[in-house]
A and B are shown apart, each in its own frame.
Chain A
Amino acid sequence: MSDRKRSVLRGQLRYLPVHILLILGGMVMLFPFVWQVLMSLSTNAEIQSVPPQFIPGTFRWENYVEVFQKLPFLQQFGTSLLITVARTLGQLVFCALAGYAFARMQFRGRNLLFGMLLAILMIPGQAYLIPQYQIVKSFGLLETAAGVVLPGLFSAFGTFLMRQAFMSMPKELEEAARLDGCNPWQTFWRVMLPLAKPSLFAVAIVTVLWSWNDLLWPLIVTTREENMPISVGIATLAGQYSSDYAVMMAASVMAMAPIFVLFFSMQKRVIEGLASSGLKG
């Protein structure tokens, strides 16, 4: 072993108790995921066995096939995708535009409007749900993805984040753009928006996570299996086939997979984005 390696090892040795605690804690965090994958490949008898059997005798891939027989899985998965993409794009557009105006344009009532927008954040979501449901119903959008998407297109929190981002940018850039003959739209689109990428990413991450995993609102808007996003689909499956554990697990693994693929493909940026979304609050 080289000297350098040895000294690194000695350095970590003083952290041994810390490593032990963190590994134990990390196992508690990781264990449900690993176990879920294992159960998704087990038989129901294996899942219910005493003493517990964690490793299945043979991998039962049929559980995954069965998901598609018990649930319109593809359709629900597609609905979830559609809802998540639409909400994220919508929030990016509306929040960036409004955030820019609140940060950089002077107009009458700006502070009052912004204050009223922030007030939305103080009020728990349940206070909006019944009227939102009635509005969506009156638009004839119950049981549709559009109905699930609509209220979530507009976010006070996202606007707040974008405003913070634009406020921290040097004013000289705008002056320069203006002298070059850009109108406010061109200044925003060509000069300022590209600089706000980290905050746009933060808004996107928060929205993607929330949209994909959201339960209460889509549970209210959709009642027919073929119209539900996958979160509601899983809840319904759990209610109907409460003892068919293996299939539940297979469906759950597939429902969570996209978020984890997304996360592991850009892990560092996701963590940074979320950290910034909290710090600026």
Chain B
Amino acid sequence: MTTTTTGRAAPTGKRRRSPMSVGAWPLLFIGPLLLGVLVFYYYPIISNLWTSFTATNAFGGDPKFVGVDNYVDLLNRPDLPSALVNTLFYTAVVLLGVPLSVVIAAMIELPGLKGRTIYRVLFFMPYLAMPVAIAQVWRIFFNGNFGILNQGLKAIGIAEPPYWLSTPGFAMLAVAFFGIWSSIGFNVIILSAGLKGISPELYEAASLDGASAWRQFRTVTVPLLTPSIFFLTIMTAIGGFQLFDGLYAMLGPGNPAINQSRSLVYLFYNEAFVQQNKGGGAAIAMFIVLLVGIATAIQFWGQKKWVHYE
């Protein structure tokens, strides 16, 4: 981070308060955002917590307080373990995209490499694509009957390749592949920016010491990139735990494998907005909040061991 922290001005005795701080000005500047945030974020988080302790019957009427019933129901759901496993599996796979992106970014930013801009644009394109629109191509790629993946597999002697999108497990693999493919572009952009911050003298010094390109990558590039890598790990994990778009786009509600291939957010969407069980949905949302909180806390705790800040 640049040196931006000016903080509060040093106390200068009897200096008159700056006109910037008097009267209604701060309120005028912050008011609109504050109002919006109060209505659409602060109130909802409290309301959601409350809703998770209530139940509404199917015919409407006022929600009734039911204590922790929704949470007990949630933990007893037969589809919770699979949703949890699917979400964790997906997150683990997209996290593999981070080291992959480090290698790609390091290659793109090699000094003197030609065609850098084109490579950057190519790897960035998937990030721009509307997930639900570009997923239509991957659905055909993974199609069990005529998809080119299975045609290729048959060509190399695998007689009965799986029906990727309609077989639980394989379906998650396809969704996770789509996830990695979509996420690399953003990773590369962030890592490239980080790479530009590394001073070329470090590499010169390393070359003078006779370090090979691979050794330079390991001992100079990766350690100095760890703040960016950490940032991406956090963002990717949070994004992975919230898998919805890619799954919905690839499998869709009519897919035979969807019941075993749900993510936690899909479970939430289905419960709250398809089954119209707001209390149950709110409980799932709180479960996701808890899970993301734990995962993020673990990463912040673990970063001390591997992230180097200058």
Contacts and interface: CB of A to CB of B under 8 A. Distances in A.
Q: Do A and B bind each other?
A: yes
Interface of A: 8, 11-12, 15, 18-19, 21-22, 25-26, 28-30, 32-33, 35-36, 39, 47-52, 93-95, 97-98, 100-102, 104-107, 110, 113, 116-117, 120, 122-135, 150-151, 153-154, 156, 159, 164, 167-168, 171, 174, 178, 183-185, 187-188, 209, 212-213, 215-216, 219-220, 230-231, 234-235, 238-239, 242, 245, 248-249, 251-253, 255-256, 259-260, 263, 267, 271, 274-276, 278-281
Of residues A29, A102, A178, A271, which shows the largest number of chain B Cβ atoms within 10 Å of its Cβ? Answer: A29
Interface in B28-56: 28-30, 32-34, 36-37, 39-45, 47-48, 51
Contacts of B133: 231, 234, 251-253, 255-256
B21 A97 contact: no
B254 A242 contact: yes
A184 B20 contact: yes
A105 B286 contact: no
Contacts of B244: 215-216
Name the residue among B132, B192, B286 with the largest chain A CB count within 10 angstroms.
B132
Interface in B87-136: 104, 107-108, 110, 112-115, 118-126, 128-134, 136
Contacts of B4: 164, 167-168
Given A101-B26, A129-B285, A183-B19, A39 B140 contact: yes
B115 A19 contact: yes
A12 B193 contact: no
Interface stretch (B76-84, B181-189, B199-207): B181-189
16 contacts: A26-B118, A29-B184, A48-B145, A49-B146, A94-B36, A106-B17, A107-B21, A128-B40, A130-B272, A130-B281, A132-B44, A184-B20, A213-B132, A215-B244, A216-B265, A238-B139
A153 B253 CA distance: 30
Nearest to A114: B30
B288 interface: yes
Contacts of A101: 25-26, 29-30
A128 B254 contact: no
A245 B140 contact: yes
A111 to B, nearest CB: 9
Contacts of B140: 39, 47, 245
Nearest to A188: B29
The 3 closest A-B pairs by CB, nearest first: A131-B44, A154-B36, A252-B133
Contact of A107 (B26, B185, B252): B26
A260 B33 contact: no
Nearest to B123: A29
- The B contact surface, by secondary structure, is helix
Given A107-B26, A239-B252, A252-B136, A132 B40 contact: yes
B114 A12 contact: yes
A126 to B, nearest CB: 4
Nearest to B287: A126
Residue in B134, B151, B185 with the greatest tally of chain A CB atoms within 10 Å: B134
Nearest to B146: A48
A127 B289 contact: yes
A117 B238 CA distance: 18
Nearest to A263: B128
A281 B235 CA distance: 10
Contact of A213 (B6, B131, B296): B131
Interface of B: 1-2, 4-6, 8, 17-21, 25-30, 32-34, 36-37, 39-45, 47-48, 51, 104, 107-108, 110, 112-115, 118-126, 128-134, 136-141, 145-146, 148, 151, 181, 184-186, 189-190, 192-194, 228, 231, 235, 238, 241-242, 244-245, 248-249, 252-254, 265, 268-269, 272-273, 278, 281-282, 284-286, 288-289, 292-293, 296
Nearest to B250: A238
A122 B296 contact: yes
A140 B124 CA distance: 39
Nearest to A37: B137
A22 B252 contact: no
Contacts of A255: 130, 133
Contacts of B145: 48
A3 B84 CA distance: 61
Contact of B245 (A15, A33, A104, A215): A215
Contact of B181 (A28, A110, A167, A249): A28
Nearest to A214: B245
A75 B110 CA distance: 46
Contacts of B128: 209, 256, 259-260, 263
Nearest to A220: B273
A127 B45 contact: yes
Nearest to B25: A184
A152 to B, nearest CB: 9
Contacts of B113: 12, 15, 18-19
Contacts of B242: 124-126
A107 B281 CA distance: 39
B107 A18 contact: yes
A32 B137 contact: yes
Contact of B130 (A159, A213, A248): A213
Contacts of A271: 120, 124, 189
B51 A131 contact: yes
A105 B25 contact: yes
